Structure 1
């Protein structure tokens, strides 16, 4: 979004008041771009000092979750689209953003709750396969750096679907592929990451998330976030056990670093896709808002601002744990 900007002529007695609007989406109500538009309109309406004395700049922000691609596009990235596999296995159209060899990929575009029909969840079978396809589309477009924003997922498959789409193989004891989703990982017998897309080795991939949970256990992906995706108490137990099996099998394939990454901050992000990105894709974890402020050019936009307005849909205790308003502040 480009807000109306009034410039101050040299020699003018009073420089304009400069306001920067750097707010995240108000989930369920307004996108970050719409928030900036509404705040701009309100400021203009209430300002009594003359239009030439008020300069408003807008920089919609995101923390790696829903709205991350939209924020990048508003900052000047090109919007690209790809047809990928949705969380239920049906095709969906997903967007990513690209500029000068840097891609911003939002896993929720491919594997998010937004793609589930109202009231329909698939906690045991939802897959991240489409997220892998979306990453591959970014590679095909020439991305050399990928900011992978994770959040808003419908899945708890540890990123197994994503890795499968990029060339990994996950097999049952009889040699057949494990079915999609987190639940079937309980049947996993062997894993092979040797077929992963070779372009990943020369691509800088940043895992952008506001979640620092481990993959498994009482603070893991299934226990903390599974119920939000329709998982019952029994489903949570089954998913956590399946993810434990997933890590054990991967330990046999790649060694002890599988267990190390499973315990690392961010491994439990977006149903464990953080773990898949850290282990399989060589991603580096960074707090999502820090990454996105860098990508969006926040530091340059902040220069000379007299007032910064930020916000999100709800300001609460979670805001202090890596959410956009805290990062902006």
Structure 2
């Protein structure tokens, strides 16, 4: 009887846990549905803003008050709402979790115009905690309002990575006073160590979609064999180790494509070890820099209100802003 009772109690515990899991999943689904609504409104607002800017530009050009656009710079095309949303929005985040979440909830709920349950979801991920994505002007207003209430708020625009000035490093040199790098596109930079602010080491999983042509052989009764050509989409995942170095006007990505001869006598046999030694070498030459290695354990990190393939990069930008303003660590 005692064994039967123990099994019954275990079954009841499992049933309770299943009910809790189901309730949590239902809350997550409801939260995701609510997240889509403000993003859709922001996308529509961005589209209207682009349309208004195009009309104003056309009027100015017809009046002869503006020179024609420079060669190679294209105006947003109709239907490019997603790209426009990226170019005109910014993330607002809390650099640190509120000291008292209960005391902060009503204030955050009022400023963010969100229900308390949604605010709690925004505060759940690691810091900096993204609480909103808004048009740039409104993001600046929200950041100021949060600061006025005592929250350590930071903000960064959500723009194309190329516009942020990221350089993928081919080779580098650890000079006495500065770091010299050459990018894979031929860029050459010399960055003084005091200008560095943040060194992030981690891994990321990137998904590449490729198109392949497949030839299949089919047999039909009375018709023999014939070949059918099909085009299929193939998704491939790739794990890449990296060290990101951020400073004033500097965004450097050291990856598996980097040559590590600049380490000199510290050169190791594996990319993983070379990236670790590079991070250590930079820390010795710039002891003031903030170091972060959380992405080593989170290659699939997802940031709220952001596509997954941009999540790590944009968290790095927010973290850089927090370091630059003395809010981190």
Q: Determine which structure has the larger strand proportion and give its number.
A: 2
The normalised TM-score by structure 1 is 0.26
> Computing the radius of gyration over CA atoms, which structure comes out larger, 1 or 2?
2
Task: Identify the structure with bigger relative contact order (alpha carbons < 8 Å, sequence gap 6+).
Answer: 1
